[in-house]
Amino acid sequence: MSEKESKISALIREYLSNQELVWESIIDPRFESGFRFMFPKGSDPHGRPIGKNFVIVQPKNQDFVEISCGVRLSPAQVKALFSLGVDKRVQFFEDIKKIFLLKDVFYNIDTKNNKFAVIDVIYARQDGTISNTFFFKSVQKMFNCTTHAVLVLREYCAGKMQPEEPLVSKEQASEIVDFNVQEMQLIPPPEYRTVHIKDLKHLLEKLGECEVNLEKYGDSLNEESQPAIKEIRELVEKIKKEYDI
């Protein structure tokens, strides 16, 4: 295991422990390291955990981690959804795809088995670390995505299921965590998921050069060029923020 990879694993363990989250290690030959955890901590007034199950893994010989949150609909939710008919059921899954796309997360939807997962990828910085803020920002984003999807399901099934119907039963919790791990092998290769951190830095350098030229010659450019100038500057800031550079 390289120094960079061991540093990532140690940091993730530290971040999870500092937040007092319940976690356990994953032993899998495909991964340098992995953890299961529930986020956020706490329970609702009925004593049910409010958190969702997450899995984070670092693939072998890679300087990034993959985080996933998987959900399998409960029997009551499946029954309510099927009662709406095929068209409505298909439309529900199409609608949650839109949610995931708008939130910039990858997803895996299995309509046959009524389950879905959202996935995010975080690359290590040059010093081999992943920031605490950036890590939990990703986790929070996926938590919000799955919660949003469940709220959409409740809208579809209004009047056909109890308002307080839990997302999953306690018996289903371990099954969903295992589903997360298994779905990891279905994630597209890194080159198709996102741009590698080295490519991003190269892009930022090129965009920086463009900004210098735009600052120098911007006043002499015609009005039709101004939207392009703005778009370049916004792209620079978006990449810096998104990839914590």
Are the beta carbons of 184 and 57 closer than 8 angstroms? yes
Stretch among 56-65, 127-136, 183-192, 223-232 having the lowest mean pLDDT: 183-192
How does residue 128 score in pLDDT terms, banded at 50, 70 and 90?
Answer: confident
Question: Are residues 52 and 110 both part of a single domain?
Answer: yes
Are the beta carbons of 145 and 103 closer than 8 angstroms? yes
* In the predicted structure, residue 61 carries a pLDDT above the cut 50: yes
Question: Are residues 178 and 224 both part of a single domain?
Answer: no
The dihedral through the CA atoms of 218, 222, 223, 224 has a sign that is: negative
| Residue range of the domain that includes 217 | 197-242
For residue 59, the domain's CATH number is 3.30.1460.10
* Separation of alpha carbons 143 and 87, rounded Å: 27
Question: Are residues 174 and 231 both part of a single domain?
Answer: no
- 103-127 pLDDT, tens digit per residue, is 889 999 988 888 899 999 998 888 8
The reported pLDDT for the residue numbered 205 is: 62
Burial class of residue 97 in the structure, from the number of CB atoms within 10 Å of its CB (0-12 exposed, 13-18 middle, 19+ buried): middle
Question: Are residues 152 and 91 both part of a single domain?
Answer: yes
Question: Are residues 128 and 168 both part of a single domain?
Answer: yes
Question: Are residues 113 and 148 both part of a single domain?
Answer: yes
Question: Are residues 167 and 238 both part of a single domain?
Answer: no
16 vs 12, 129, 242, CA distance in Å? Answer: 6, 15, 22
Question: Are residues 170 and 221 both part of a single domain?
Answer: no
Domains: count for the chain: 2
- 181-224 pLDDT, tens digit per residue, is 444 443 333 333 344 445 555 556 665 666 555 555 555 555 55
Mean pLDDT of 73-90: 88
Question: Are residues 220 and 111 both part of a single domain?
Answer: no
Q: Which of 169, 190, 211 is the last residue of a domain?
A: 190
Question: Are residues 95 and 124 both part of a single domain?
Answer: yes
The reported pLDDT for the residue numbered 169 is: 45
Question: Are residues 31 and 105 both part of a single domain?
Answer: yes
Question: Are residues 95 and 213 both part of a single domain?
Answer: no
In this structure, what token pair is assigned to residue 187? 């994630």
